[in-house]
A and B are shown apart, each in its own frame.
Chain A
Amino acid sequence: MTGDADLDRLIYAHLDGDLDEAGASELGRRISADPAVARRVLSQAFVAEELPDALAALHSATARLRRQPQQRVITPARMALAAGLLVSVCALSVMGLMWGQTSGGAKIVAVDGTARIAGDPAGFSVAVGTWIPAGARLLLDDGARVEVQLGDGSRLTLSEGAETGLGTHASEVHLVRGRCVAEIAPQHGARFRLFTPSGEVSVIGTRFQVAVSTRSTEVVVDHGRVAVARAGQQIELGAGQWTLAGADRELRVHESGDADLERSLLGWWPCDEANHEDIRDHSPWGRHGRIVAQSEGVWSDGGDGASAVALGDHGLRPDGVRLPILALGSLPGLTVALRLRWESGASPALLGEGPARFLIDADGHPLVEHRGVRLVAERALPANTWHQVAWRWSRDGRWDIFVDGQAVAGRQDGAWNAVEWPAWPLALGHPTEPRVGDFALVLNQVRLYGRALSDAEVATLAGR
């Protein structure tokens, strides 16, 4: 069978939907006459179906985000599970149902990293095109990002170790933990519901973001209207508004500019565990780090009775503190803030080899490198004194650097209009460089936010 070029051409055309009537007749005749031909068709059909994933598996994680989903509506899904708080998004219904009401399942339309179906004994990683039946739970690795399309055409982009359950009703999804950006198709009078351990979300066509940590559920509405309910209390959110719902918080409507240093906090490492093996994350996410290359002098005086991590030749080696990989995806902004005492030399990337690198140069200038473009603060940090340094990126392609709560550098650049941020292998110090060189720096109070903090919020962090 191998080497039958005419047959292969017929199969190729058939599998691409390009076979004419004569070709279909000829291929059909050969299949019927010889099971070996049928096997060859099946074998090539398998290649045609699996080739996109095989190619993607050989590329970087970024390249795996491919095969933009087609706009046709897939068969509606039946979903379900259970939870606590209810966020209901109320928007006007416009379109009519194309596939009738509800029935189950969802389809994977993009995969970056590893995700599995809970309870699957074969432990298959899901791939683009994998259909997830109702009742299944999808588990993402920390660094993974997965986009699923529901039966009504709604899309969920899951990240940050998301655990998601598909319910028995088309318009029900459970987000047990992690982050979900939901773009909900018009629901035609019904409500889409997204449950979290601390709540429940229902939507009629809008876009919003939900982040579920161990303590709270953060809801940000991009457009449309959302009603959020918890424990008998209900609020409504419009575009740009947000709320944090949790056991220890009152449910309130916040405007986009409202200061709240708990909002979009992705990690907070005070580095106050002197002499322990872990660097604890004090944010609700629990992204704890581990000291993997302990050496003398790891812990230093952080001032005011606090401790701090020493990086450099006499402190931690650069791969000394590993933090979990963070899948960032589509962020409205980013802020990195930390206290540091620079002593000498050029630092490694202070928060690992991420999509942007935050450094102190050999003369003590804070700088950021992003997509090959640098922003360097004009004023150098005085050696051997404590300062709070913050780097802030906003979606319009602007970076700002702050020292002690005051802006010391800022610029907008087309190269910085990043819409998608790749996964970030977090670490204190450069995670891969074998030797940093002659430098010494001490840091603590490392905070990472998934948004651009306001000037006032940065100043608050600096204690101004």
Chain B
Amino acid sequence: MREDLFVAQLIQAQPGLRAWLRAVVGSASAADDCFQEAAVVMSRKRAELPDDANFVGWARTVCGFIVRDHRKRQARSRLCPLPDEAMQTLAAVHADDDDTGGVWEARRRALRRCVDDLPDTHRELLRRRYEAEEDVADIANALKRQRGAIDTMLCRLRSSLADCIENRLRISGET
């Protein structure tokens, strides 16, 4: 694949691939490491890929190999990986839901609108946790709440944002 085409395809596919990796490996840092390793492998192998190839499918395959290595390492750590069958289902669903750049950019726009619509207190909680990267325990301490209550709130907020994205895309016909 031509370099300029490869660069464009990889940039467009990033949000979808990163979401899939996060779903498979769990933690943000592990997903980050896997994506970077995969991207380097893809850079090396791009010459073997025809210009009209299914880039996302190929990229997901490369990511799959990297994830497999990661899971071997993870098996020796305290982290608990999802069973293989679940990983295969996630890959199949991800492949079914066309992950072209346009879809993911629409999702990004929808997420921003959904975050914008949140009450200030909820948005501030998300900002402290995910933008300022404060520990949940520190946030709970500062707000004089139980840690579990903050975790529950964050869980609900993330879940509601996922629902909000789907609703917005359905209404706008972009799914």
Seen from chain A, the residues whose Cβ lies within 8 Å of a Cβ on chain B are: 2, 8-9, 11-12, 14-17, 19-21, 23-25, 27-29, 31-32, 35, 38-59, 63, 66-67, 70, 72, 74-78, 103-105, 107, 117, 119-122, 124, 129-131, 133-136, 151
Contact = CB atoms under 8 A, between A and B. Distances in A.
Interface in B131-175: 131-133, 151, 154-156, 158-159, 161-163, 165-166
B7 A136 contact: yes
Given A45-B20, A47-B111, A135 B3 contact: yes
Most buried by B among A44, A58, A78, A119: A44
A24 B80 contact: yes
B32 A47 contact: no
A120 B11 contact: yes
A17 B79 contact: yes
B62 interface: no
Given A39-B97, A78-B43, A120-B8, A107 B111 contact: no
Given A41-B23, A119-B8, A67 B131 contact: yes
Contacts of B105: 122, 124
Contacts of B111: 46-47, 50-51, 54
A318 B161 CA distance: 44
B68 interface: no
A66 B33 CA distance: 19
Contacts of A40: 162
A129 B11 contact: no
Nearest to A55: B131
Contact of A35 (B6, B29, B89): B89
Interface in B10-51: 10-12, 14-16, 18-20, 22-23, 26-33, 35-37, 39-40, 42-44
B52 interface: no
B8 to A, nearest CB: 5
* A-B interface, 7 closest residue pairs, ranked by CB to CB distance from nearest: A17-B27, A28-B86, A28-B83, A45-B23, A46-B19, A24-B80, A12-B155
B66 to A, nearest CB: 10
B115 A8 contact: no
Nearest to B94: A42
Contacts of A134: 43
Nearest to B88: A32
Interface string B71-89: 0000000011111011001
A48 B129 CA distance: 11
Contact of B123 (A17, A29, A55): A55
A397 B156 CA distance: 45
A135 to B, nearest CB: 5
B36 A75 contact: yes
B60 interface: no
A43 B131 contact: no
Given A27-B86, A41-B90, A133-B11, 8 more contacts: A8-B156, A32-B89, A41-B23, A42-B20, A45-B22, A46-B16, A75-B36, A107-B36
B131 A12 contact: no
A19 B43 CA distance: 33
B115 to A, nearest CB: 5
A42 B24 CA distance: 9
Contact of A75 (B37, B112, B115, B158): B37
Most buried by B among A27, A47, A135: A47
A35 B40 CA distance: 31
A51 B82 contact: no
Contact of A133 (B39, B108, B133): B39
Contacts of B151: 12
Contacts of A8: 155-156, 158-159
Given A8-B155, A14-B26, A103-B40, A47 B131 contact: no
Contacts of A9: 155
A420 to B, nearest CB: 16
A48 B21 CA distance: 12
A15 B104 CA distance: 19
Contacts of B4: 119, 135
A38 B6 contact: no
Contacts of B97: 39, 42
Contact of A21 (B7, B14, B80, B165): B80
A43 B162 CA distance: 6
B122 to A, nearest CB: 11
Nearest to B83: A28
Interface string B96-110: 110001101101100
A12 B154 contact: yes
A75 B40 contact: yes
A2 B40 CA distance: 37
Nearest to A17: B27
B36 A131 contact: yes
A67 B165 contact: no
B112 A58 contact: yes
A54 B112 contact: yes
Contacts of B27: 15-17
Contacts of B44: 103
A28 B82 contact: yes
A51 B90 contact: no
